[in-house]
Amino acid sequence: MEKLYQILKETLIFNGLDELAIENLLHQKMFRLKKYCKEEFVAHSNDICDRLMIVIQGSVRGEMTDFSGKTIKIEDIIAPQPLAAGFIFGRNNRFPVDIIANEPSTILILPKDTLILIMQQDNQVLKNYLDAISSRTQFLSNRIRFLSFKTIKEKVAHYILSQIGRDYNTVVLPQSQTNLADFFGVTRPSLARALQEMEREGIIRVERREITLLNKEKLNNLLNA
């Protein structure tokens, strides 16, 4: 249990609390740890979301399937992070996407009533929770905007501009092109062709995982066309 409290201390929900404070909050309260195998479903889209789930070990991914049957990866959630914290409360409190384990993973499950009791007992947990769901709302808004782009080049342009700061023109991809293609909801060859076209047009230069922006005006024009 001591290791559990050490891990929880690093999560958004319990940020700012020491291990003893977390132990006291969870003492004699209902919660459980559940292990999942690789590719096992943690939750299905439209399941009732009536508990807070925190990835303690491993990682999971959120996926959705469009009307054509195509699967789009929304994001990877790596330990220690909460899952679907913004969907526990409200009228339609259901999981918005399928959640699937990427690898053997352990998840802490706090029933809704336990979560409410903990937030009533500690203002820091309440503030952390509100911060967490606000951040998720902002992320989902950006993700919806991203998915609204019709072409791969538009998606690449938005991604590069969101990663590159004002004072530098190079971004190192945090994941492989295969994983990036999954994130974009496209095939890897399609993404590779789009990157090659943008290189030929003098917009970017690609060297392995490093992308250098050569012409920001042309990149912006892809989004404003």
100 and 201 inside one domain: no
pLDDT above 60: residue 219: yes
Instruction: Return the amino acid letter for 131.
Output: D
What does each C-alpha distance from 23 to 107, 113, 208 come to in angstroms? 17, 18, 46
Token digits of residue 64: 């959705």
73 and 134 inside one domain: yes
pLDDT grade, residue 176 (50/70/90)?
confident
Residue 99, CA atoms < 13 Å, CB-side half-sphere = 22
pLDDT above 60: residue 167: no
134 and 180 inside one domain: no
Q: How far is CA 201 from the centre of its chain?
A: 32
Mean pLDDT of the region 104-125: 94
180 and 105 inside one domain: no
Domain count, the chain: 2
pLDDT tens-digit readout, 45-65: 999 999 999 999 999 999 887
Minimum mean pLDDT range among 12-21, 169-178, 188-197, 215-224: 169-178
Domain that holds residue 129: 2-147
141 and 166 inside one domain: no
Task: Report the CATH number at residue 188.
Answer: 1.10.10.10
The model's pTM = 0.66
pLDDT above 90: residue 172: no
pLDDT above 70: residue 225: no
pLDDT tens-digit readout, 71-90: 778 788 999 999 888 889 88
pLDDT of residue 40: 97
In the chain, what percentage of residues exceed pLDDT 90? Answer: 44
